[in-house]
Amino acid sequence: MSIVLLARDLGLSISTVSRALNGYEDVSADTKQRVLKRAREIGYRPNPGARRLKSGKTSLVGVILPAAADGVKFVDSVASSLLGGVEVELENGGYALIATMQTRNDHEREAALYENFIKGGWVDALLLVRTRVTDARVELVRKAHIPFVTYGRTETPEPYAWVDTDNEKAFYLATLRQIEFGHRRIALLNGPLEYNFVRLREKGYSRALARQRIAPDRLLMLNGDLSEVSGYALCRSLLVSAIPPSAIVCATDAMAIGAIAACRERGIEVGKEISIVGYGNSSASAFSDPPLTTIDHAVFDNGRHIGQSLLRLIRGEVKPGDIHYLEPVVLVPRKSDCPRR
Amino acid sequence: MSIVLLARDLGLSISTVSRALNGYEDVSADTKQRVLKRAREIGYRPNPGARRLKSGKTSLVGVILPAAADGVKFVDSVASSLLGGVEVELENGGYALIATMQTRNDHEREAALYENFIKGGWVDALLLVRTRVTDARVELVRKAHIPFVTYGRTETPEPYAWVDTDNEKAFYLATLRQIEFGHRRIALLNGPLEYNFVRLREKGYSRALARQRIAPDRLLMLNGDLSEVSGYALCRSLLVSAIPPSAIVCATDAMAIGAIAACRERGIEVGKEISIVGYGNSSASAFSDPPLTTIDHAVFDNGRHIGQSLLRLIRGEVKPGDIHYLEPVVLVPRKSDCPRR
DNA sequence: TAGGCGAGCAAAAACGTTTTTGTCAATGAG
DNA sequence: CTCATTGACAAAAACGTTTTTGCTCGCCTA
């Protein structure tokens, strides 16, 4: 009964206090001041439950994090930076981020989870991460008429708001670099094909090869789960093949570090005999042996973009179809890549 | 007006429907069945705002994540696994986790943030991570009479619920191992001293030295920020000193990887000429060169423990002082440590 | 047969806001 | 002088639940 106490204290009606607090025009500047001052003194905070019930607004943005590869991590390190950026912006708009984990990956349960999140009235807006090539979630959320932004694109004809890093460009650049080093047999250690960013990376890779008239070799395009273990295993299989590649482009720094370990195991010197490029510019990448040439993309800034977009969408300042932001990438050269022998 | 619709549809009163839905005893088994069935058919979901307003319960557990060392990451990788475990358990109890980031680290802002979280009625319970040696937060939250669990202990006379990994034991074991390898000058690359786990690690380290009657050397106990960069810098400073250590124990795998890089730079072979042990058993630790001997602690399980404890605390099944759980650790030997030359 | 009791349901208040619709006095126009 | 207008505030309804209290009926007991 907090606002009534405040009202009583001030000798005003509840409605006037409420309108003063919310900055309406039909309350005198004088009263407004007085109310604001007293509210601060008394430490008044509007009850979120009541506000929510009345106005239907939750002041919450939801995100459902897919379980990481090991089924254990709440967020992978990318989502980690991303959410940091989102949170920072949301905070300015009076919104908070509510994160839930998708513990299982089957699609029915996923739909139910989103359904519950939306229909249950838990959030005002949604953030979708790890978009798939065809992603049932965006249709689902679109139909619910709730604002949302995806991190990563997806193949749908309908307009929707997305923020993404330029995955294609990144792998185009990385592959081109390898080609310019004289490499012709360049492997791609990629992630699960269902994800859109994986397709885009493949596309960038292929486009670079095509540009230099190098016939793509399906046997050099491998898919794993983005982890060190997977990078290690995949690289190992490449090294024992009939004609091993002289260069590798990896979907994550973790994979690259796994790949480096595989090379070391077979006595192949990375950055001399084989050329490896990673992706992500993780903190570990600078300290591997050799230090990893990788691609930096500003995940945190992406998060900020998403946060801002979410806010503008919620406020109705902009249409979903007008929010498209592609974050540029930059290659950071270190020692793991080298000219062909 | 959802429950009234359901009530009307069933020809029952609102109260009966509500009581049926909530499993009260004074509604016949028959009616209960009928209500439950129809509710499912109709897709009825109680409005969380209304429920919250009336009952004062939010179905939300809050956690305020400290910004990581780089000021950018939403959660460090440890918190990441931890929250996964928490979430999994909470889900069973009908609770969700709401995560907010502490973007700045000054203490006034911190207090305000917690104050707002609690007094604002955003959550039913709180999870405190990264406990400090003396941590104003636990006093703050205790006074607010809201259930909470800390991950990591703190120095306070009052009883409170904590879950922790056995940091002291871990560093006792790691250090002892180095001693048994014949090392006498063993460095400790630790984190910021304000954190309780940092003190405990120091304590474990010191205890092992004391046990073998080795005089501790303050110059060998260094503090950084747990990152690769910091591990690199600290190790570098050790190596150029008058009498460099023959062994190093690191507070994180990341630091250890940085330390390895520093050794490599100076042509010192890790696992032959110098013995290094990490902590955390991160996915990268198995793929460094040499593979890192490290300490595994089940962070995810800790998270599950926390989740369960939170639920029991909320339900009032247990007193805060009765929740103390110390997760054991296990050393996983790899190649980065070695006998003294 | 009267009174008490329990089982099963209903009425109504309450939670703390926001918002719609008044009310009332002072002001200005005609 | 009258009447409409406006500026500043108040009353009251509404949001969708939960919970306390009340009611009715049939049954058992004395």
pLDDT digits (tens, 9 = 90+) for A272-317: 999 999 999 999 999 999 999 999 999 999 999 999 999 999 999 9
Say if the Cβ atoms of A122 and B232 lie within 8 Å.
no
- In chain B, what is the greatest distance between 2 CA atoms, to the nearest angstrom? 88
If asked whether residues A176 and A261 sit together in one domain, one would say yes
CA distance B256 to chain A (A): 10
Round and report the angstrom distance from CA (B281) to C1' (D24).
68
A60: nearest CA partner in chain B? B98
Round and report the angstrom distance from CA (B57) to C1' (C9).
27
Which among A202, A197, A258 has a CA at the least distance from the CA of A230?
Answer: A258
What tokens appear for A159 in the block?
């307009």
Round and report the angstrom distance from CA (B15) to C1' (D24).
17
Residue B69 confidence (pLDDT) above 70: no
Alpha-carbon gap, residue B335 to B276, rounded angstroms:
9
Residue A282 placed within a domain: yes
If asked whether residues B233 and B283 sit together in one domain, one would say yes
Chain B residues with CB under 8 Å of A66 CB are none
CA count, 13 A, side-chain hemisphere, B152: 23
If asked whether residues B157 and B83 sit together in one domain, one would say yes
CA distance B214 to chain A (A): 32
CA dihedral sign of residues A116, A121, A123, A125: positive
What tokens appear for A90 in the block?
């949301």
If asked whether residues B161 and B181 sit together in one domain, one would say no
Strand D closer than 7 A to residue B18 Cβ: yes
Say if the Cβ atoms of B286 and A91 lie within 8 Å.
no
Residue A338 placed within a domain: no
Chain C, protein-covered positions (CB within 7 A)? 7-20, 22
Strand D closer than 7 A to residue B53 Cβ: yes
CA dihedral sign of residues A119, A123, A125, A127: negative
Predicted confidence at residue A72, as pLDDT, reads 58
Is B208 within 8 Å of B175 (Cβ atoms)? yes
In tens, the pLDDT along B224-244 reads: 999 999 999 999 999 999 999
If asked whether residues B153 and B207 sit together in one domain, one would say no
Predicted confidence at residue A98, as pLDDT, reads 86
Which among B151, B200, B155, B149 has a CA at the least distance from the CA of B322?
Answer: B149
Which residue's structure tokens are 């809201």?
B146
Which among B221, B205, B339, B333 has a CA at the least distance from the CA of B281?
Answer: B333
Predicted confidence at residue B228, as pLDDT, reads 96
What tokens appear for A15 in the block?
């409605």
Round and report the angstrom distance from CA (B99) to C1' (C12).
39
- Going across the sheet that includes A221-223, the strands are A221-223, A186-190, A247-250, A275-277
Nearest amino-acid residue to D19, taking CA and C1' = B15
Alpha-carbon gap, residue B326 to B339, rounded angstroms:
31
Chain A residues with CB under 8 Å of B227 CB are 283
Residue A87 CB: number of other CB atoms within 10 A? Answer: 25
Say if the Cβ atoms of A284 and B101 lie within 8 Å.
no
Predicted confidence at residue B204, as pLDDT, reads 98
Chain B residues with CB under 8 Å of A81 CB are 72-74
List, in sequence order, the alpha helices (H) in B25-98: 29-42, 48-55, 77-92
What tokens appear for A281 in the block?
């510019």
Question: What is the SS3 string spanning chain A?
Answer: CHHHHHHHHHCCCHHHHHHHHCCCCCCCHHHHHHHHHHHHHHCCCCCHHHHHHHHCCCCEEEEEEECCCCCCCCCCHHHHHHHHHHHHHHHHCCCEEEEEEECCCCHHHHHHHHHHHHHCCCCCEEEECCCECCCHHHHHHHHCCCCEEEECCCCCCCCCEEEEECHHHHHHHHHHHHHHCCCCCEEEEECCCCEHHHHHHHHHHHHHHHHCCCCCCHHHEEECCCCHHHHHHHHHHHHCCCCCCCEEEECCHHHHHHHHHHHHHCCCCECCCEEEECCCCCHHHHHCCCCCEEEEECHHHHHHHHHHHHHHHHCCCCCHHHCEEEECEEEECCCCCCCCC
Radius of gyration of chain A (CA): 25
Residue B337 placed within a domain: no
Indicate the average pLDDT of chain B: 93
If asked whether residues B27 and B69 sit together in one domain, one would say no
Amino acid at A272: K
Res. B108 pLDDT band, cuts 50 70 90: confident
Res. B74 pLDDT band, cuts 50 70 90: low
Alpha-carbon gap, residue A209 to A164, rounded angstroms:
23
Predicted confidence at residue A69, as pLDDT, reads 56
What tokens appear for B319 in the block?
């007193």
Is B163 within 8 Å of B307 (Cβ atoms)? no
Boundaries of domain holding A201: 167-297
Which among B249, B77, B248, B246 has a CA at the least distance from the CA of B170?
Answer: B249
What tokens appear for B328 in the block?
């054991």
Burial class (CB in 10 A: 0-12, 13-18, 19+), B85: buried
In tens, the pLDDT along B195-227 reads: 999 999 999 999 999 999 999 999 999 999 999
B66: nearest CA partner in chain A? A84
Amino acid at B331: L
Is A101 within 8 Å of A65 (Cβ atoms)? yes
Res. B73 pLDDT band, cuts 50 70 90: low
**E strands of B67-216, at which residues?**
96-102, 125-128, 148-151, 161-165, 186-190
- Please list the ranges in chain A whose pLDDT falls under 70: 1, 68-75, 104-105
Round and report the angstrom distance from CA (B37) to C1' (C8).
19
DSSP B5: H
Nearest amino-acid residue to D10, taking CA and C1' = A13
Predicted confidence at residue B118, as pLDDT, reads 87
Q: What Cα–Cα distance (Å) separates residue B181 from each residue in A104, B112, B185, B217, B251?
A: 45, 50, 11, 19, 20
B45: nearest CA partner in chain A? A120
Question: What is the SS3 string spanning B150-172?
Answer: EECCCCCCCCCEEEEECHHHHHH
Strand D closer than 7 A to residue B47 Cβ: yes
Nearest amino-acid residue to D14, taking CA and C1' = A54
Chain B residues with CB under 8 Å of A97 CB are 98-101
CA distance B247 to chain A (A): 20
Residue A339 placed within a domain: no
If asked whether residues A225 and A146 sit together in one domain, one would say no
Task: Please give the interface size between A and B, counted as residue pairs whose CB atoms are below 8 Å apart.
Answer: 174
B302: nearest CA partner in chain A? A72
Which among A22, A26, A101 has a CA at the least distance from the CA of A57?
Answer: A22
Per DSSP, the residues of B24-45 read -TTS-HHHHHHHHHHHHHHT--
Strand C closer than 7 A to residue A59 Cβ: no
Round and report the angstrom distance from CA (B146) to C1' (C9).
36
Strand D closer than 7 A to residue B15 Cβ: yes
Residue B51 placed within a domain: no
Chain B residues with CB under 8 Å of A78 CB are none
Predicted confidence at residue B70, as pLDDT, reads 58
Nearest amino-acid residue to D12, taking CA and C1' = A15
Amino acid at B69: A
Residue A104 placed within a domain: yes
- What CATH number corresponds to the domain at position B72? 3.40.50.2300
If asked whether residues B279 and B223 sit together in one domain, one would say yes
Predicted confidence at residue B76, as pLDDT, reads 74
If asked whether residues A179 and A158 sit together in one domain, one would say no
Strand D closer than 7 A to residue A26 Cβ: yes
If asked whether residues A146 and A189 sit together in one domain, one would say no
Helix, strand or coil, per DSSP, at residue B189: strand
Is B168 within 8 Å of B202 (Cβ atoms)? no
Alpha-carbon gap, residue B207 to B188, rounded angstroms:
13
If asked whether residues B137 and B176 sit together in one domain, one would say no
Predicted confidence at residue A68, as pLDDT, reads 64
Strand C near-CB residues (< 7 Å), B 10-39: 11-16, 19, 26-28, 30-31
What tokens appear for A168 in the block?
């294609």
Chain B residues with CB under 8 Å of A235 CB are none
Which nucleotide shows the minimum CA-to-C1' distance to residue A55? C18
In tens, the pLDDT along B127-145 reads: 999 999 999 999 999 999 9
What tokens appear for A178 in the block?
């390898």
What tokens appear for A203 in the block?
């596309």
- What CATH number corresponds to the domain at position B10? 1.10.260.40
CA distance A44 to chain B (A): 9
Alpha-carbon gap, residue A312 to A323, rounded angstroms:
10
Q: What's the domain count of chain B? A: 3
CA dihedral sign of residues B252, B253, B258, B263: positive
Residue B340 placed within a domain: no
Residue B341 placed within a domain: no
- Going across the sheet that includes B247-250, the strands are B221-223, B186-190, B247-250, B275-277
Predicted confidence at residue B75, as pLDDT, reads 67
Amino acid at B144: A
Which residues touch A285 (CB under 8 Å, ≥6 apart)?
A253, A256, A257, A278, A291, A292, A294, A334
Round and report the angstrom distance from CA (B5) to C1' (C14).
21
Say if the Cβ atoms of A120 and B227 lie within 8 Å.
no
If asked whether residues A290 and A181 sit together in one domain, one would say yes
What's phi and psi for B275, nearest 5 deg? -115, 120
Say if the Cβ atoms of B53 and A49 lie within 8 Å.
yes
Round and report the angstrom distance from CA (A119) to C1' (C21).
32
Is A297 within 8 Å of A280 (Cβ atoms)? yes
B67: nearest CA partner in chain A? A84
Say if the Cβ atoms of B257 and A74 lie within 8 Å.
no
Average confidence (pLDDT) over B95-106: 80
